[in-house]
């Protein structure tokens, strides 16, 4: 039995890119939405570079439209875009990012936040992910301080404490909570397929790597030439979820490090 936030809770997912929620935790988002959680996804960047053979403006438009489609398939209630240029957060102010996260946490007042694990950076090659992870992790405590950004209070906002922190990563250092997504794997696949522009770029990158090795991968070439990415996406998404599930005796799964009540629950008789 998956242990989710209580029915009706607000859940905020903070990510750098449009396809991050679907790839990292799409099955869990869908399952939470089916438990009547109200889910908001905050996307930091505009994904302007994540395409092939399109200019930046067309890429932004397509990725936004496909982001909306994927979110709808997962039962997401609201989307927030910060519109930073993608793939440049390594030069962005971490404090500036943190202020935006504090603002939206105070505005939305979520029971739980889902985002990258700052300690799961092994194998993480994307500075956008790393910078967002660090800013989110500091947001948890600074959003509660009445001295941090009191200008927010002029809008009627108040300090807010997030009760559950759900961390994901390419490779978590600690897994506390495997989530069975066997009933939502189909929705996850469909949501990833919806990101057609970004997935086509992924196929293009794999073809470039294969070319460097002097290889021709028929499935990649077929997907590229036909434009039908579904078979490859289906295989990759299911294989990853099945591999994760195998570690926990589940059919398909996603993994998280979940921290409740700042990790101090046992001291106050609150379950971990």
Pairing, β 78-84 against β 38-45 = parallel
What tens digit of pLDDT does each residue of 111-158 get?
Answer: 999 999 999 867 788 999 999 999 999 999 999 999 999 999 999 999
Can you give the residue ranges of every domain in the chain? Answer: 10-263
Helix (H, G, I), strand (E, B) or coil at 197: helix
Crossing angle of the two packed helices 56-73 and 185-194, in degrees rounded to 10 = 160
The pLDDT value given to residue 3: 87
Is the confidence at residue 271, as pLDDT, over 70? no
**Cβ contact 122:173 at 8 Å:** yes
As a whole number of angstroms, the distance between CA 22 and CA 45 comes to: 16
The pLDDT value given to residue 145: 98
Helix (H, G, I), strand (E, B) or coil at 50: coil
Look up the CATH superfamily of 10-263. Answer: LmbE-like (3.40.50.10320)
Tell me the pTM. 0.96
**Cβ contact 192:26 at 8 Å:** yes
Is the confidence at residue 159, as pLDDT, over 70? yes
Sign of CA dihedral 12, 15, 17, 20: negative
What tens digit of pLDDT does each residue of 201-258 get?
Answer: 999 999 999 999 999 999 999 999 999 999 999 999 999 999 999 999 999 999 999 9
Please give the helix or strand (H or E) that residue 88 lies within, else none. Answer: none
**Helices (H) then strands (E): counts for the chain:** 8, 7
Residue with tokens 């971490």: 94
Q: Write the CB contacts of 56 (distance below 8 Å, at least 6 apart in sequence).
A: 48, 49
Crossing angle of the two packed helices 185-194 and 196-212, in degrees rounded to 10 = 80
Structure-token pair, residue 112: 């739980």
Banded pLDDT at 265 (limits 50, 70, 90)? confident
The pLDDT value given to residue 266: 82
Helix (H, G, I), strand (E, B) or coil at 78: strand
The pLDDT value given to residue 167: 98
The pLDDT value given to residue 121: 66
Average pLDDT over the chain reads 95
Banded pLDDT at 178 (limits 50, 70, 90)? very high
Once rounded to an integer, what is the mean pLDDT over residues 190-196? 98
What tens digit of pLDDT does each residue of 64-93 get?
Answer: 999 999 999 999 999 999 999 999 999 999
Is the confidence at residue 272, as pLDDT, over 60? no
Structure-token pair, residue 158: 């108040």
């Amino acid at each position: 039995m998956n242990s989710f936030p209580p029915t009706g809770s607000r859940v905020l997912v903070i990510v750098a890119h449009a396809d991050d929620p679907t790839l990292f935790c799409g099955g869990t988002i869908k399952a939470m939405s089916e438990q009547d959680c109200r889910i908001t996804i905050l996307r930091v960047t505009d994904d302007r570079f994540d395409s092939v053979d399109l200019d930046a403006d067309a890429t932004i438009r397509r990725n936004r439209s496909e982001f909306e489609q994927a979110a709808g398939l997962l039962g997401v209630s609201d989307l927030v875009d910060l519109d930073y240029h993608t793939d440049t957060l390594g030069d962005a102010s971490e404090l500036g990012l943190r202020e935006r996260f504090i603002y939206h946490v105070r505005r939305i007042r979520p029971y739980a936040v889902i985002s990258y694990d700052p300690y799961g950076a092994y194998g993480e090659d994307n500075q956008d992910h790393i910078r967002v992870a660090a800013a989110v992790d500091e947001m948890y405590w600074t959003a509660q301080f009445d001295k941090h950004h009191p200008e927010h209070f002029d809008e009627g906002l108040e300090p807010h404490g997030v009760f559950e922190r759900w961390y994901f990563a390419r490779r978590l250092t600690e897994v506390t909570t495997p989530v069975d997504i066997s009933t939502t794997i189909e929705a996850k696949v469909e949501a990833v397929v919806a990101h057609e522009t970004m997935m086509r770029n992924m196929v293009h990158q794999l073809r470039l790597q294969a070319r460097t090795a002097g290889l021709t991968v028929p499935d990649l070439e077929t997907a590229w030439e036909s434009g039908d990415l579904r078979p490859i996406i289906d295989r990759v998404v299911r294989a990853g979820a099945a591999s994760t599930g195998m570690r926990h005796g589940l059919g398909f799964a996603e993994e998280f490090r979940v921290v409740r009540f700042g990790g101090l629950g046992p001291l106050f008789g609150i379950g971990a």
